[in-house]
Amino acid sequence: MSGSSTNGTSTTGATGATASTAGSARLAAISAVTNYKPSAPALDFTKTPAAELYASNIFSKAVMKERLPKNVFKSVLKTIETGAKLDPSIADIVASAMKDWAIERGATHYAHVFYPLTGQTAEKHDSFLAPDGDGGAVTEFSGRQLIQGEPDGSSFPSGGIRATFEARGYTIWDVTSPAYILENPNGTTLCIPTAFVSWTGEALDKKTPVLRSMQALNKQVQRVLKLFGHTDGALVSSTAGPEQEYFLIDRNFFFARPDLLNAGRTLFGAKPPKGQEFEDHYFGAIPERVLACMLEVERELYKLGIPIKTRHNEVAPAQYEIAPVYETANQANDHQHMVMLTLKRVAEKYGMTCLTHEKPFAGVNGSGKHLNWSMGSATQGNLLDPGDTPHDNAKFLLLCAAVIRAVDKFQGLLRAVVATASNDHRLGANEAPPAIISIFLGDQLTDVFEQIKAAGGASKSLPKGTLTVGVDVLPPLPKDAGDRNRTSPFAFTGNRFEFRAVGASQSIAGPLVAMNTIIAESVDYVATRLEKDTAGDPSKLNGALQKLLQEIITQHGRIIFNGDGYSEAWHKEAEKRGLLNRKTTPEALVALKDKAVEELFEKYGVLTKRELESRYDIYVEQYCKTVRVEAKLTIEIARTLIYPAAVRYLNQLASAGANLKALGQNFCTGTIEKISELVKSLQESTAKLETELDKHGFADLTAEAHHFCDAVVPAMVAVRTAADGLEGYVADDLWPLPTYQEMLFIK
């Protein structure tokens, strides 16, 4: 065996694996780490400082200002900044400027980029070249080509919205998210973010509902602002800052693990002697190869105007995090897709694979995508910033109460939008955050709401001045919640809420749509109440607000929990409070069928009944497909990799025993017996898994999903238990899969 580094593809897949697979992957990885040299010339940030690179590949406002006629630029800007309807007559001019700009940057093609319900990014490339009729060609890019594309999207999930015979799907230019240049060693492509809809106008994608929900939120928040005397109408946008957790492991290991390759997570693997118990990885020094990779990832993202801010080691060995400065929800969503793609693409250049799966390795921390959320406008700033003055506090407390009400009222929906087969290994498993949705407010803010709640009952006996406790006499609220609570799924963190239950591999679109819409509904509720109670008289606002806040906190305060969300005690307490605890995806997704949820999305024009139904079907189907693939892989790996290794080792032990016996020596057969037992258990559990997987004829998709959840998943766990047991006995040189120890610690 040589230690020379290959890309490891020869060991791909179960069938090609031999007894030496693990050994060679391990040696190749060690070699890759110890001999690490960047394959490309080192990046030189002194030549092109990051600030100069920043946004150099986007068709930004600055570029448009320079290249578009003044009136056209103004018109585009108006749409971007105020949400005004796009004037289609300007499209030809914008397209032409965009084309020239892109061709100067080496573009040969343009692509409409869209976000189908698979949660992935999709793109269709078209050449700028068109035959000129005289045997030559000209470059061409019309306004129509910019505004609308028609990919044959019939293979994307539509949940029955669109039958294949009516396969038409349109991509529509989203002017609020800038076009950009995607670089490739052999040229560049002009990418245009688009919405993807059916010919009947139904959303087939994740972007359209985000845009609709932002519009709904803006409309409702304007009403509250008006009550406080802010009538400039500046567009209120929801803002998002998603923190992405991920693992990086050597590619040699990745290709030697059919489970990682096909399912994105390990289906087998005994716990290593050392895991994360020393907490020595979190915020530790970043390994050189990893840091080199991060620097290039960030450089690529800077070019696209993606404001990456933070990088650090995460809790688990080989786990890291990348986080941007927040942006408007729609942009943050597009950019988040680019972050995931770029991490994966660049990691390969450094001989590593980026895993965004929620739980690639059992027994160490999984990966989430903490979604920081707030709302604000150019004139108002961040509306969830408590501010320094009582007046700001009142507005803040009102909006904060609206969020509390929304989260309590629609906890089922929030749980549903983070429900995936892969995220089940975090939520509802023994990991934070739990599947119970609750809000962490921090001691000080909780105390303020407690006062508001109490003040009502005692108001008569209180002197006049203190009647307004919670509004006028409030002390400035803390900008930074001094304390932190990592176990809360939905935490107030000083000037925003952080939804921590989102999975690392997920698109943030679904969670954003849910948050924007439920909060729009709550803001609608409070605005309607206050408009009625004040009847146009601003002097009545304080009193009306007091009453409303008190009411909300009394009705919805049960959702607030500042303790350890991980503890058994909380699970009991939450049940007492009547909070939902939906541990698995099939249980959680039913919220999409709630009448209240259906009405919510219809009322605010975010999703029609049909669009919502289609999403339920698609997500349930995705769950079934994911578990089915994992189950098939489990069977394949158990039978063709692990069983043969165990039998080979048994054979070696048996012949050693026979030989020793021939020499008149004793041979203890304890290990043989133990391995035989585990092999038997492996065979039986594999057979059982196969039986469960073969079951058919379920009443509907929902019933099938429950079968996968209740029967197939546990059957997979049983196979794993036997196999992981064998890993502790079979000779290391025969073990066919790279071990946890190797994958997590060789870097």
**Where on the chain is the footprint of ligand ADP (CB under 6 A)?**
239-241, 243, 310, 323-326, 370, 372-374, 382, 495-496
Rounded least distance, CB 498 to Mg ion, Å = 5
Q: Which is nearer to Mg ion, 183 or 431 (CB)?
A: 431
Rounded least distance, CB 514 to Mg ion, Å = 19
Note whether 79 and 175 are within 8 A (CB).
yes
Rg (the chain; Cα; Å): 28
Q: Which is nearer to ligand ADP, 373 or 490 (CB)?
A: 373
Q: Which is nearer to ligand ADP, 238 or 622 (CB)?
A: 238
Nearest residue to ligand ADP, scored by beta-carbon proximity:
241
The entry of Mg ion, ligand ADP, none near residue 238 (CB within 5 to 8 angstroms by kind) is: none
Rounded least distance, CB 372 to ligand ADP, Å = 3
Note whether 423 and 589 are within 8 A (CB).
no
The entry of ligand ADP, Mg ion, none near residue 310 (CB within 5 to 8 angstroms by kind) is: ligand ADP
Chain centre distance of CA 446: 29
Alpha-carbon torsion, ordered 539, 545, 546, 549, to 10 deg: 180
How far apart CA 218 and CA 695 sit, in angstroms, is 49
Calculate the alpha carbon distances from 554 to 449, 453, 503, 545, 573 in Å.
9, 6, 32, 14, 17
Strands 308-313 and 107-114: unpaired
Nearest residue to Mg ion, scored by beta-carbon proximity:
370
The entry of ligand ADP, Mg ion, none near residue 425 (CB within 5 to 8 angstroms by kind) is: none
How far apart CA 67 and CA 59 sit, in angstroms, is 10
The entry of Mg ion, ligand ADP, none near residue 239 (CB within 5 to 8 angstroms by kind) is: ligand ADP
The entry of ligand ADP, Mg ion, none near residue 357 (CB within 5 to 8 angstroms by kind) is: none
The entry of ligand ADP, Mg ion, none near residue 326 (CB within 5 to 8 angstroms by kind) is: ligand ADP
The entry of ligand ADP, Mg ion, none near residue 374 (CB within 5 to 8 angstroms by kind) is: ligand ADP
Applying CB under 5 A, which part among 370-378, 557-565, 633-641, 700-708 lies near Mg ion? 370-378
Residues of this chain, 217-236, that bind Mg ion according to CB under 5 A: none
Q: Where are the beta strands (DSSP E) in 565-671?
A: none
Rounded least distance, CB 325 to ligand ADP, Å = 4
Angle, alpha carbons 12-621-698 (nearest 5°):
110
How far apart CA 613 and CA 484 sit, in angstroms, is 38
Q: If binding is defined by CB under 5 A, does position 369 make contact with Mg ion?
A: no
Place of tokens 């897949």: 13
The entry of Mg ion, ligand ADP, none near residue 686 (CB within 5 to 8 angstroms by kind) is: none
How far apart CA 359 and CA 269 sit, in angstroms, is 13
Q: Which is nearer to ligand ADP, 35 or 310 (CB)?
A: 310
> What contacts 661, CB < 8 A, 6 or more positions away?
667
- Tell me the residue type at 535: A
Size of the site for Mg ion (CB under 5 A): 1
Q: Which is nearer to ligand ADP, 178 or 324 (CB)?
A: 324
Rounded least distance, CB 337 to ligand ADP, Å = 16
DSSP secondary structure string, 45-60? TTTS-HHHHTTTTB--
Rounded least distance, CB 660 to Mg ion, Å = 59
Phi-psi region of 470 (alpha: psi -120 to 50; beta: other; left: phi over 0): left
How far apart CA 326 and CA 106 sit, in angstroms, is 30
Structure tokens at 508: 């943030």
The entry of ligand ADP, Mg ion, none near residue 257 (CB within 5 to 8 angstroms by kind) is: none
Rounded least distance, CB 313 to ligand ADP, Å = 12
Rounded least distance, CB 339 to Mg ion, Å = 15
Rounded least distance, CB 152 to Mg ion, Å = 40
| β-pair partners for 311 | 322
Of the residues 370, 405, 415, 426, which one makes contact with Mg ion according to CB under 5 A = 370
Place of tokens 């029967």: 711
The entry of ligand ADP, Mg ion, none near residue 382 (CB within 5 to 8 angstroms by kind) is: ligand ADP
Residues that bind Mg ion (CB under 5 A): 370
